[in-house]
């Protein structure tokens, strides 16, 4: 029997991030035949993507359950040049208590947290201090984020420094030129080096899909990064002109499904950039459920990269409980 949204939520919405039970992705030898045979029918993908949020609606208690689940999968993020320790501390306070206790009580829920806090390397220490006593991981962006064009040795050193500073997750950016030139061996070797530098820290490979030129390139880059050991594949840095989209997501999660079918290894997925509305979060969760199944609806395999999404979700939950919308400034995260 299929798990309902409410049942699925209550199974995993705990005060702290659930312990990861999936084995790390060990990677595999580069299979160029598999990579080069990967195609993407753009018109069919766009037609499928257009139906995701329209065929059915999620209402009332079920919608609230999906929104609470979405919160547990958010990488609450600040990646600005004017970040300060104080801003990060406020963000971490929101990660620890993303929803007002009175709202959770009204919904029959205990405490929940976001999936992680994502910051630049320089903000790892204040984030760790602010999250002390929780199991919320700190994720650090690395490898010359967002362009990824610094020398390879420096990018690897940046990973090593963030791991040494106790970041538990590393979001790396790939070299887009390897994809655009079809140099899959170079992309594979680069991703392997990043994976090795991460050690025990989980690695999320940011493809910057808005800069890869085609959905076919997205499919091939997804496969190569997974073959090289990526624990997650992620759409965007949030700094590109085009970030997460449903067609791109469909291509990436189908690559994840193919990889699982062949290897038995589950790789996570993280859409990032431009996801700021509660209804969009529900749409993405529905896509994951339909294409990958319930196991991927947990924070060890699915994350949103977002900064303002939590604000809108909390407003929608308050409306569900009280019938009224609160002002957006009441839910500021920084």
Mean of the pLDDT values across residues 200-229?
Answer: 98
pLDDT at res. 16: 39
Distance of alpha carbon 212 from alpha carbon 215, whole angstroms: 8
CATH T-level fold of 5-16+28-322: TIM Barrel (3.20.20)
Mean of the pLDDT values across residues 243-261?
Answer: 97
pLDDT at 288 over 50: yes
**Percentage of the chain exceeding pLDDT 70:** 89
Distance of alpha carbon 296 from alpha carbon 37, whole angstroms: 26
**Percentage of the chain exceeding pLDDT 90:** 83
pTM: 0.91
Does 31 qualify as catalytic in the annotation? no
Mean of the pLDDT values across residues 73-90?
Answer: 97
Does 157 qualify as catalytic in the annotation? no
pLDDT at res. 291: 95
> Do 201 and 160 contact (CB within 8 A), yes or no?
no
Nearest to 205 by CA among 254, 148, 259: 148
Nearest to 211 by CA among 229, 232, 235: 235
Confidence of residue 52 (pLDDT cuts 50, 70, 90): confident
Give the model confidence (pLDDT) of 12-34 as tens digits. 443 333 455 689 999 999 999 99
Mean of the pLDDT values across residues 315-321?
Answer: 92
Catalytic residue among 94, 204, 270, 289: 270
pLDDT at 89 over 60: yes
Give the model confidence (pLDDT) of 112-167 as tens digits. 999 999 999 999 999 999 999 999 999 999 999 999 999 999 999 999 999 999 99
Does 258 qualify as catalytic in the annotation? no
User: DSSP letters of 280-293?
Assistant: HHHHHHHHHHHHT-
Q: Give the contacts of 52 (CB within 8 A, at least 6 positions apart).
A: 246, 283, 286, 287, 290
Q: What is the mean pLDDT of the chain?
A: 91
Catalytic residue among 171, 231, 300, 312: 171
Catalytic residue among 204, 234, 289, 300: 234
């Amino acid at each position: 029997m299929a798990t309902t949204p409410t049942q699925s939520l209550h199974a995993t919405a705990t005060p702290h991030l659930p312990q990861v039970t999936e084995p790390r992705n060990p990677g595999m030898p580069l299979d160029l035949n598999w990579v080069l045979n990967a195609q993407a029918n753009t018109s069919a993908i766009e037609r499928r993507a257009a139906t995701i949020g329209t065929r059915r609606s999620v209402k009332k208690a079920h919608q609230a359950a999906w929104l609470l689940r979405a919160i547990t999968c958010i990488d609450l993020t600040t990646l600005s040049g004017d970040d300060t320790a104080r801003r990060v501390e406020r963000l971490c306070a929101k990660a620890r208590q993303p929803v007002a206790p009175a709202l959770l009580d009204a919904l029959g829920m205990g405490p929940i947290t976001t999936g992680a806090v994502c910051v630049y390397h320089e903000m790892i220490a204040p984030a760790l201090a602010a999250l002390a006593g929780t199991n919320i991981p700190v994720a650090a962006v690395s490898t010359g984020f967002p362009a990824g064009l610094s020398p390879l040795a420096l990018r690897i050193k940046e990973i090593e420094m963030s791991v040494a500073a106790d970041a538990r997750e590393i979001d790396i950016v790939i070299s887009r030129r390897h994809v655009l030139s079809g140099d899959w061996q170079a992309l594979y070797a680069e991703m392997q080096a990043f994976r090795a530098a991460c050690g025990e820290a989980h690695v999320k490979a940011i493809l910057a899909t808005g800069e890869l030129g085609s959905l076919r390139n997205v499919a091939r880059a997804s496969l190569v990064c997974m073959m090289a050991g990526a624990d997650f594949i992620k759409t965007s840095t949030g700094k590109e002109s085009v970030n997460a989209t449903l067609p791109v997501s469909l291509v990436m999660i189908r690559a994840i499904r193919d990889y699982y079918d062949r290897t038995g290894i589950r790789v996570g997925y993280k859409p990032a950039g431009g996801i700021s509305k509660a209804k969009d979060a529900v749409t993405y969760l529905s896509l994951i459920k339909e294409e990958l199944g319930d196991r991927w609806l947990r924070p060890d395999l699915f994350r949103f990269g977002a900064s303002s999404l939590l604000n809108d979700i909390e407003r929608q939950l308050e409306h569900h409980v009280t019938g009224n919308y609160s002002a957006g400034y009441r839910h500021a995260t920084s």
